[in-house]
Amino acid sequence: MFMGEHQHNIDEKGRMIIPAKFREELGSTFILTRGLDECVFVYPMDEWKVIEQKLKSLPFTKKDARAFTRFFFSGATECQLDKQGRVNIAPPLRDYAKLEKDCVVIGVSNRIEIWSKSKWEDYFSNSEQSFGEIAESLLDFDL
């Protein structure tokens, strides 16, 4: 399980260190893709296969299903860490998530998210007031 928040920098070539505590669980090959809320999602291969199967089962006759599948798969790229524990984030993903220098890497259960530091801070401060309401609405899920 991925959890925690880590501050990292992305270099001019688009390389960023993945936190050491995430590397083993991530595995040797993993997937980066466009995430929701303008971040990059990072999935270990076994989790990616689960997501892939779920998306394959969506009815292609539904416009929203086609649109989301295009969004998610067109941004996906298979990656590996280099010897320094860095991942090279493709330019389209860097552009989408506005990743320039200061980044935040967070663990979110079955995936990692990579955020621009400023976008993460905006998201967190704008959402902070509603976390209590969100938790209350999730009580049906026995949290």
**Beta carbons of 111 and 48 less than 8 angstroms apart:** no
**Confidence grade of residue 126 (pLDDT, cut at 50, 70, 90):** confident
* For residue 63, pLDDT beyond 60: yes
Number of domains into which the chain is organized: 1
Residue 44 CA to chain centroid, in angstroms?
A: 11
Mean residue pLDDT across the chain: 93
Give the least confident one: 2-6, 46-50, 124-128.
124-128
2-16 average pLDDT score: 97
Residues spanned by the domain of 48: 2-141
CATH of the domain at 44: 3.40.1550.20
Phi-psi region of 11 (alpha: psi -120 to 50; beta: other; left: phi over 0): beta
In the chain, the percentage of residues whose pLDDT exceeds 70 is 97
pLDDT tens-place string over residues 71-105: 999 999 999 999 999 999 999 999 999 999 999 99
pLDDT at 86: 97
**Confidence grade of residue 128 (pLDDT, cut at 50, 70, 90):** confident
**Which residue in 98, 97, 121, 112 sits closest to 31, CA to CA?**
112
Q: Cα-flanking dihedrals φ and ψ of residue 49, to 5°?
A: -65, -35
pLDDT at 140: 62
Residue 7 CA to chain centroid, in angstroms?
A: 15
